[in-house]
Amino acid sequence: AHVEPVAEILQRPNVFAFIHVPVQSGSDSVLQAMVREYTSADFRRLVDTLRATVPEMTVATDIICGFPTESEDDHAASMELVRQCKFPVLNISQFYARPGTAAARMRKLPSSVVKSRSTEMTKLFETYSTHEGLVGREERVWFCETDKRYGQTVGHTKGYTKVVVPKDDTLLGRSAFVKINSATKWHVEGTVLA
């Protein structure tokens, strides 16, 4: 219901085009058991609308593997959601019962099943690339910190992709254009343009 105003804000030049929306599951029956007030289709509409409306949009999400009511089909629905959306930031966790919640009173799935599903989700996440589309491009990067261990200055693109360049503390607190030379699963590396 509020997608358009959110998209409008994310398009502003002083706001990163990044949002973290924890879906938790791609299965409507699991979402209902979790007492969530949305469906997987609602989540997909949000993601698709933001990506279509906001250039360079990065959507991060969370998936919980092994919720007590999660069937094989429910797990497959979560896998399919990740397969289709290819989230560049995906926090995968195994179900943990928080005391005092309805889920804490539910019968847990065998830990071997939970671990297997978590491993399967992690392997799926590792199969797709996240930042290769930036290689060869020139991007404005906002620099914020120094990684002394690796001798790099760290910043982020408008879409909040992590960018590392050779250490140059004069970049801190400002932006500069960077030629992106290579990409890893977690960040891109580049050269600051004069």
Task: Supply the pLDDT for residue 2.
Answer: 87
The model's pLDDT over 60-79, given as tens digits with 9 standing for 90+, comes to: 999 999 999 999 999 999 99
Q: Say how far apart CA 68 and CA 102 lie, in whole Å.
A: 11
Sheet containing 58-65: which strands, arranged edge to edge?
Answer: 18-20, 58-65, 89-94
pLDDT band at 23 (very low <50, low <70, confident <90, very high): very high
Task: Supply the pLDDT for residue 96.
Answer: 92
Task: Supply the pLDDT for residue 55.
Answer: 85
- For the CA atoms of 94, 100, 105, 106, the dihedral, rounded to the nearest 10 degrees, stands at -30
The model's pLDDT over 38-62, given as tens digits with 9 standing for 90+, comes to: 999 999 999 999 999 998 999 999 9
Task: Supply the pLDDT for residue 194.
Answer: 75
The model's pLDDT over 126-173, given as tens digits with 9 standing for 90+, comes to: 999 999 999 999 999 999 999 999 999 999 999 999 999 999 999 999
Number of CB atoms found within 10 A of residue 110's CB: 9
